[in-house]
Amino acid sequence: MQHRTLGTQGLAVSAIGYGSMGLTMGYGPGDEEAGIAAIRRAHDLGVTFFDTAELYGWGAGNNEVLLGKVVSDFRDEVVLATKFGFAQTERGLGLNSRPDNIRTVTDNSLRYLGVDQIDVLYQHRVDPDVPIEDVAGTVKELIDAGKVKYFGLSEAGPQTIRKAHAVQPVSVLQTEYSLFERDVEQLFPVLQELGIGFVAYSPLGRGFITGTAKPAGQYDATDMRNTDPRWQPGNFEKNVEAVNRLGRLATAKGITVSQLALAWLLAQGEHIVPIPGTRSAARVEENAHAADIALTEADLAAIREILPTGGFGARYTEEHAPNWV
C-alpha cells in the first residue's frame, strides 16, 4: 500500500482509506459482523486511515465504539479520524460547534474509541452561529492538551478555511469528491496555497459507481439513496449509462469500474486520499488494489469524455446541501 502525506503538519496515511459511516447509518440495516471483517481486511491490506464521527453513532449503533473495538489490537498502526459539530435537538438534527460541546464530544469520542488521542478531529459541518476562530481555538487547546493530533474541516469554503488555518493549522479538508461530484475542485488552489491535504468522501458516488445501483424506492426504507437526486427518474438512467461506459473502459484495462474511479481520484493530485466505505471484505480488497493502478493520459481523456463535469443530479437534496463560505 502506498502512503501519502496530507497537509504540512506530518499527517501520513495510506493512499486508500476506509470510511465507516455505512456500517451503522445511511445505507439500510447494519451488519456488525461483516463490518468487523471489512475493517480487519482493510488493515491486513495496509489501509491505515479509518474515518468515523459522533453523528454515525446515533440511531442504529455507535460507530466509534465498533471501530475502536476492532482496531484496538493494532491501534498504533492506524490513524483514526472522527468529527464533531452535529447535535440532536427537539426539532431534529442541528448544528453545535460551541467550544463546550466540542470539548464534550471529544472526551466522548476518546472514550468510545478507547484511545488516549484522536489522530484527526474534524468539524463535521460549519456552524454559522459559532465563529470559526473559536472552533479552531478550541481544537488548538485540545491539541496542546494532547487529546488531538491534527485538525480537519469538512465541507468548508475558502473564507472559513483561511480563518481557521490562521488560528490552528488545518491539516486536511474532507468533502465529497468523485467522478460524479467535482465542485470541490474550485477549492484546490486554496488548499495548495495553505498546504492542506484533501480527503474525498463518497468517492464511489455512494455506491453508484460500483455498478450495483438500483432505482430509488428499491432500497430499505432507512437507506438515504431513496431520496438522493442522482437516483431519481431522469438522472438515474443517465448515471447508469455513464457507469456502463466507464465499466467498458475499466474492463479493457482489466480492472473494475470502482478501481478506475479510485485511481482517477488518486491521479488528481498527491494531496488527495479517498475513503471508500463498504461492509464487504471483498470490496475492501478491490478498493485497496486501486492504489496500484496507474492511469494513462489516454485513460484520463476517455474518462473526461464520459463525465466531463460530473454525474447527473445534485449530491444532496436542497435542504441538506452544505453551504460553503
| Distance of alpha carbon 302 from alpha carbon 252, whole angstroms | 12
Task: Please answer whether residues 146 and 121 qualify as being in contact, where contact means their C-beta atoms are separated by less than 8 angstroms.
Answer: no
| Distance of alpha carbon 248 from alpha carbon 246, whole angstroms | 5
Is 18 a residue of the active site? no
Task: Name every residue whose Cβ is closer than 8 Å to that of residue 293 and which is 6 or more positions away in sequence.
Answer: 253, 255, 259, 260, 262, 263
Nearest one of 204, 203, 207 to 226, comparing CA atoms: 207
Query: For residue 119, which phi and psi values (nearest 5 degrees)?
Result: -70, -45
- What does each C-alpha distance from 275 to 115, 161, 308 come to in angstroms? 21, 21, 23
Task: Please answer whether residues 81 and 52 qualify as being in contact, where contact means their C-beta atoms are separated by less than 8 angstroms.
Answer: yes
Task: Please answer whether residues 13 and 4 qualify as being in contact, where contact means their C-beta atoms are separated by less than 8 angstroms.
Answer: yes
Encode 156-185: b = buried (16+ Cβ within 10 Å), e = exposed.
bbbebbebbbebbbbbbbbbbbbbbbbebe
Q: Which of 27, 56, 112, 177 is catalytic?
A: 56
Please provide the DSSP assignment of 56-111 as one string.
GGSSS--HHHHHHHHHGGGGGGSEEEEEE-EEEETTEEEE---HHHHHHHHHHHHH
- What does each C-alpha distance from 222 to 1, 30, 132, 184 come to in angstroms? 34, 10, 33, 28
How many other C-beta atoms are found inside a 10 Å radius of the C-beta of residue 235?
17
| Helix H or strand E segment including 288 | helix 281-288
The vertex-305 CA angle with 299 and 311, nearest 5°, equals: 110
| Distance of alpha carbon 55 from alpha carbon 258, whole angstroms | 27
Q: Where in the sequence numbering do the catalytic residues fall?
A: 56
